[in-house]
Amino acid sequence: MDYVEHVVDLVGNTPLVRLNTVTAGIGEGPLVLAKVEYVNPGGSVKDRIALRMVEAAERAGELRPGGTIVEPTSGNTGVGLAMVAQRKGYKCVFVCPDKVSEDKRNVLKAYGAEVVVCPTAVPPEHPDSYYNVSDRLVREIEGAWKPNQYANPENPASHYHTTGPEIWQQTDGKVTHFVTGVGTGGTISGTGRYLKEVSDGRVQVVGADPEGSVYSGGSGRPYLVEGVGEDFWPETYDRDIADEIIAISDSDSFDLTRRLAREEGLLVGGSCGMAVAAAVRLGERLAAEGQRDAVIVVLLPDGGRGYLTKVFNDAWMSSYGFLPPDSSHATVGDVL
């Protein structure tokens, strides 16, 4: 019989899938391979960091039997933590701003987590801000532990020990460029460090960033793509790793996200479209320079089901001017 003891044992070892049509502008080469993280059991790359942060806290005695995990998160990290907590018998309390959709909150509740909702329209220093509420809960709940993915070294370490080695083995050491979006910076810092070390510095690491975010020289101006870009420099971001940062507009990110579903059969989130847009731009440049043998690996952090009312909804896209009103992108139910 072939089975695992628990669904958590399925985290990692995600496949590489060749991109075929969105890369048409690149021509014969370089090869562009997508590392598809939505096949993780919690549906995103964040399962990797959840598992490692929890196990490190257990070893350090910071998280004990019966303890409670408290984290300000509304998305993928919460799902990963809730899944690992369920396996190990911990409680979870997630704090999220009220702008987070009810669907996302319900996913966390479905895993048995408690969700505390805070007002979005208050400054970070306000007692009701979601940063302050989560700090207060950590103080008030006995046995509480806060993973703090923005400062926890186990976040990049999980990628150094899993994502990086997987990519190296899956490409037989032929990977030449690694492209990924940057949020906490855990993925780029850990995976990038490993790939640089194992290749004696040969692998080039390229960050993809929403236009306006600090990583590409902005001040944190609002953008719509979720999970990437910051308005501050997190401790988990290692400034020595990226060789280049490519800034991508919301419009280009969403356009590619929709094309990935329609043309490649990959229903993925908006930050995936952003990363692929950067990979395609890089591939076109390498092709123009004659570097046809390059092998670009681009990481796709999550699936698209959490974004059906946004990126994949024509009315939402039109309301931000991303689709012309007479768009030919008809959806089910439209009268043609």
* Residue for token pair 């995976």: 191
Q: Give residues 257-296 in contact with ligand PMP (rule: CB under 6 A).
A: 269, 271
Restricted to residues 83-102, the positions that interact with ligand PMP (CB under 6 A) are: none
Nearer to ligand PMP by Cβ, of 75 and 147: the residue is 75
For ligand PMP, which is the closer residue by CB, 26 or 46? 46
74 lies in the binding site for ligand PMP (CB under 6 A): no
Of residues 26 and 299, the one with the C-beta less far from ligand PMP: 299
Catalytic residue among 35, 46, 91, 146: 46
- For ligand PMP, the closer of residues 76 and 148 by Cβ is 76
Q: How far is the CB of 65 from ligand PMP (least distance, A)?
A: 29
In the window 176-205, what residues touch ligand PMP (CB under 6 A)?
Answer: 181-187
91 is catalytic: no
List, in order, residues 6 or more apart from 76 with CB less than 8 Å away.
42, 43, 44, 45, 46, 227, 301, 302
| Minimum distance, C-beta of residue 301 to ligand PMP, in the bound complex (Å) | 4
Q: Which long-range contacts (CB under 8 A, 24 or more apart) does 227-233 make?
A: 227/75, 227/76, 227/181, 227/183, 227/269, 227/270, 227/271, 227/301, 227/302, 228/181, 228/182, 228/183, 228/271, 228/274, 229/182, 229/183, 230/182, 230/183
Closest distance to ligand PMP from the beta carbon of 218 (Å): 16
> Rounded to an integer, what is the distance from CA 75 to the centroid of its chain?
10
Q: Are strands 16-18 and 31-36 parallel, antiparallel or unpaired?
A: antiparallel
The beta-strand segments (E) located in 234-336 are: 244-248, 295-300
Give the residue from 154, 132, 147, 186 showing the smallest Cα distance to 299: 186
Given candidates 144, 302, 307, 310, which one binds ligand PMP under the rule CB under 6 A? 302
Judged by beta carbon, residue 211 or residue 302, the one nearer ligand PMP is: 302
Q: b/e string for 53-77 if b means 16 or more Cβ within 10 A?
A: bbebbbeeeebeeebbbbbbbbbbb
Q: Which is nearer to ligand PMP, 101 or 318 (CB)?
A: 101
Record the tokens describing residue 16, joined without a space: 């590489």
Q: What is the token pair recorded at 38? A: 């939505």
Instruction: Name the minimum Å distance from CB 241 to ligand PMP.
Output: 11
Q: Does residue number 227 form part of the binding site for ligand PMP (CB under 6 A)? A: yes
253 binds ligand PMP (CB under 6 A): no
In whole angstroms, what is the distance from residue 96 CA to residue 94 CA? 6
Number of residues that bind ligand PMP (CB under 6 A): 16
CB atoms within 10 A of CB 138: 18
- Residues at the interface with ligand PMP (CB under 6 A): 75-76, 181-187, 226-228, 269, 271, 301-302
Catalytic residues: 46
